[in-house]
Structure 1
Amino acid sequence: MAKSKRYAEALEKYNRENLYEPEAAFNLVKELATANFDETVELSAKLGVNPKHADQNIRGTVVLPEGTGQEITLVVFAKGEKAKEAEEAGADFVGAEELAEKIEGGWLDFDLAIATPDMMSVVGRLGRVLGPKGLMPNPKAGTVTFELEKAVQEFKAGKIEYRVDKTGIVHLPIGKASFSVDQLLNNYRKIMDTLAKERPAAAKGKFFRTLAISPTMGPGVKIDPAATLTIIGR
């Protein structure tokens, strides 16, 4: 990130090495969000796992109680009655082979793709396009399902996927800078409690190694892992 004057001024407002209580951290991150748009508050959680081992490659979904604060464009691969179900649930684009051809032609103006299991033979050929962008439907992410009404409504309401990267870090949006501190804390508690439940038996030592939040255009604020365990009752 280019170190602009605004970014430099933000750094002067606090000590980047401090470990803050969650509530204080969210108060501070709202103060650091000074861009001329509603910045996303992002969480980076370094976990005590080795993603090279299948049993430690954490992945799943969580429904944020306060939502994400952003509208998502959602496509669904389905046919017949299931296509009708997806449309009525609020999917933005619904289709089958013709939708796959549109994507193969370069169209990628959407944020999430869901497919019924019987459509994966069609969706499978899009792997080289959707995979690198994190858009490939996957059962573990809840995006390959026959329960389209539930899936569409949950993702529209604030359901997000989490997945540990190769360095053991989970990156997630946690809300918007316009959210109240209480709203951000509610989402944070839900995410951290969900991740805590995912701790593999093989994980050694501290599970939450480092935690930090940041606005889209601003610097990060470190959160005390011990204080986080307290607020989620662990």
Structure 2
Amino acid sequence: MAKQGKKYLEASKLVDRTKMHDVNEAIELVKKTATAKFDETVEAHIKLGVDSRHADQQVRGAIVLPHGTGKTARVLVFAKGDKATEAEKAGADFVGAEDMVDKIQKENWFDFDVIVATPDMMGLVGRLGRVLGPKGLMPNPKSGTVTFEVGKAVNEIKAGKVEYRLDKTNIIHVPIGKASFEEVKLAENFRTLMEAIVKAKPAAAKGQYLKSITLTNTMGPGIKVSPTKVTE
């Protein structure tokens, strides 16, 4: 096991790993334990009482965080004609079709964070499934990234829209801002995300839905949030 750095160990002393915190306490601690020289990302990790192997227990969607993530996403749009022009006007970083497929396949190019595609382009994008799928980059109608409203999609992503989806261990990982954000802004972003996840609860989910919630910053220890206090 790698030796933990001095700053991490100092930060760990501030955190009681057995204690469940309310949202405000957790956010205060996550800011206090962010001691790196760069502006650390604050992430929420939410374990759900569902089984992601079953289609009727999937939890997936997208939400615009009221205060953004502190990072402007680089957007690649697959579109042609008027829709390509619309995407460019909305501020898409890259717009194209076959040329972009070639670039990704031949150059192993991934200088983007989100892909938006018009529905008629999905046959083309599907060719990249094997490389985009494992990276979580495949566009999806549920997250609003397969749409003819490309301008709106690009604007929302640039404004701080984040996608939430279960990984194989039934955990959702979502950035909710930066350590430099005011506590109240991090709390509002977190609550907005949690409301969306609670609303997205599948009818097939049985038992406790919110199993555990942890807030972390890039370099610091995890801070547990009480699942019963997330909407307070």
Shared topology, TM-score over 0.5? yes
CA positional deviation for 1:200:
1.6
Aligned to 1:30: 31
Aligned to 1:104: 105
Give the whole-Å Cα distance in 1 for the aligned partners of 2:84 and 2:20: 49
Aligned to 1:210: 212
Give the whole-Å Cα distance in 2 for the aligned partners of 1:101 and 1:226: 49
Aligned residues: 230
The 10-residue stretch of structure 1 (46-55 or 77-86) with the greater mean CA deviation from structure 2 = 46-55
Maintained 8 Å contact 2:70/2:178: yes
Aligned to 1:5: 6
Aligned to 1:139: 141
Q: SS of the residue aligned with 2:46?
A: strand
Matches within 5 A, 1:1-234: 2-105=3-106, 106-229=108-231, 231=232
CA positional deviation for 1:209:
1.1
Give the whole-Å Cα distance in 2 for the aligned partners of 1:133 and 1:208: 25
Q: Provide Cα deviations, 1:148-197, integer angstroms capped at 9, x if missing partner.
A: 11100000101111001122111110110000110001001101111111
CA positional deviation for 1:2:
4.9
What TM-score, normalized by structure 1, do the two folds share? 0.95
Give the whole-Å Cα distance in 1 for the aligned partners of 2:203 and 2:114: 31
The 10-residue stretch of structure 1 (76-85 or 8-17) with the greater mean CA deviation from structure 2 = 8-17
Give the whole-Å Cα distance in 2 for the aligned partners of 1:24 and 1:79: 49
CA positional deviation for 1:63:
0.8
Give the whole-Å Cα distance in 2 for the aligned partners of 1:127 and 1:166: 18
Give the whole-Å Cα distance in 2 for the aligned partners of 1:183 and 1:150: 24
Residue identity matched to 2:65: L
CA positional deviation for 1:14:
2.4
Relative to structure 1, is the Cα distance of residues 72 and 2 closer, same or farther in structure 2, using a 3 angstrom cutoff? farther
CA positional deviation for 1:24:
0.8
Relative to structure 1, is the Cα distance of residues 205 and 217 closer, same or farther in structure 2, using a 3 angstrom cutoff? same
Q: SS of the residue aligned with 2:139?
A: coil
Runs of 4+ deviating beyond 4 Å: none
Q: SS of the residue aligned with 1:210?
A: strand
CA positional deviation for 1:147:
0.3
Relative to structure 1, is the Cα distance of residues 2 and 150 closer, same or farther in structure 2, using a 3 angstrom cutoff? farther
Q: RMSD in angstroms over aligned alpha carbons? A: 1.1
Give the whole-Å Cα distance in 1 for the aligned partners of 2:180 and 2:76: 28
Q: Where does the alignment leave 5 or more consecutive residues of structure 1 unmatched?
A: none
The 10-residue stretch of structure 1 (3-12 or 28-37) with the greater mean CA deviation from structure 2 = 3-12
Give the whole-Å Cα distance in 1 for the aligned partners of 2:215 and 2:145: 27
- The share of aligned pairs that are identical, in percent, is 57
Q: SS of the residue aligned with 1:132?
A: coil
Residue identity matched to 2:85: K
What TM-score, normalized by structure 2, do the two folds share? 0.96
Relative to structure 1, is the Cα distance of residues 17 and 11 closer, same or farther in structure 2, using a 3 angstrom cutoff? same
Residue identity matched to 1:45: I
CA positional deviation for 1:50:
1.2
CA positional deviation for 1:221:
0.4
The 10-residue stretch of structure 1 (161-170 or 26-35) with the greater mean CA deviation from structure 2 = 161-170
Q: SS of the residue aligned with 2:110?
A: coil
CA positional deviation for 1:205:
2.1
Maintained 8 Å contact 2:72/2:160: no
CA positional deviation for 1:202:
2.1
